[in-house]
Amino acid sequence: MRTKTVGIIQPDLQFELDLWVQGFQRVVGLDEAGRGALAGPLAVGAVCLPPDPLIATHLSGVRDSKQLTPAERAYWAEVIKAHAQGWAVGLASNEEIDHLGIAEATRLAAQRAISALPWGAQHLLLDYFRLPQCHLPQKALIKGDQRCLSIAAASILAKTERDRWMTQIDRVYPQYGFAAHKGYATAAHLERIQRWGACPIHRRSFAPLCNLKEREESV
């Protein structure tokens, strides 16, 4: 599959190569999806690429997931899984997000993704956030999903796995249209919240749902 790259920065292996030279063979990139949604879980992808510069050729179309179409993400997700040394996706539920806050829920999902890898990671590369309670060496990169290939790969797996989850839950709550908007604050989603109220997968701590809850309790 060809991916349009005009005006788009291509992520590379500069950060992985530096760590491979230092002796870190299991370098794991992490990125999240669903942080700003009003419903559903937050997902964090974890991808460990084999310590071989040729992997960049196999993943030549991998970009930050936001820069790809759904069809491109689906295609590259399968290529990533086929070529990665290891991969996993961790989730934090909407209840955990409401209880812990979005930052701590992101860290929880990241820890779950790391724990689900088939072996221990040696070094982490993260898109902006850090894991202060994790003992592993780590590097937080600004716009890491646009600059670092393993983080970009992780962003694709986080996005595709979360989208799959939201599409499946649409069958349970079809009146909200989750398969179309994936829980984000689109006009259609907001209109359906006003019509139907919140359902069990909505994040009650997020506006406008927290205000809706306040109105419901005051009636």
Q: How many domains does the chain have?
A: 2
Residue 202: inside a domain, yes or no?
yes
How far apart, in whole angstroms, are the C-alpha atoms of residue 141 and residue 4? 24
Q: In this structure, are 94 and 71 located in the same domain?
A: yes
Q: Other C-beta atoms within 10 Å of 207: how many?
A: 10
Q: pLDDT tens track of the chain, all 219 residues? A: 544 444 567 999 999 999 999 999 999 999 999 999 999 999 999 999 999 999 999 999 999 999 999 999 999 999 999 999 999 999 999 999 999 999 999 999 999 999 999 998 999 999 989 999 999 999 999 999 999 999 999 999 999 999 999 999 999 999 999 999 999 999 999 999 999 999 999 999 999 998 875 444 432
Q: In this structure, are 80 and 104 located in the same domain?
A: yes
Q: In this structure, are 163 and 178 located in the same domain?
A: no
Residue 4: inside a domain, yes or no?
no
Omega within 30 of 0 (cis) for the link into 132: no
What pLDDT does residue 212 have?
78
What pLDDT does residue 7 have?
57
Q: In this structure, are 181 and 146 located in the same domain?
A: no
Q: In this structure, are 148 and 63 located in the same domain?
A: yes
Residue 7: inside a domain, yes or no?
no
Q: In this structure, are 165 and 207 located in the same domain?
A: no
Contact 34, 43 (CB under 8 A): yes
Q: In this structure, are 122 and 161 located in the same domain?
A: yes
Q: In this structure, are 188 and 155 located in the same domain?
A: no
Copy the structure tokens of residue 124.
Answer: 């982490």
Domain of 189 in residue numbering reads as 174-218
How far apart, in whole angstroms, are the C-alpha atoms of residue 163 and residue 179? 8
Asked whether the whole model's pTM tops 0.85, one would answer yes
Q: In this structure, are 117 and 180 located in the same domain?
A: no
Residue where one domain finishes, among candidates 169, 191, 207: 169
Residue 188: inside a domain, yes or no?
yes
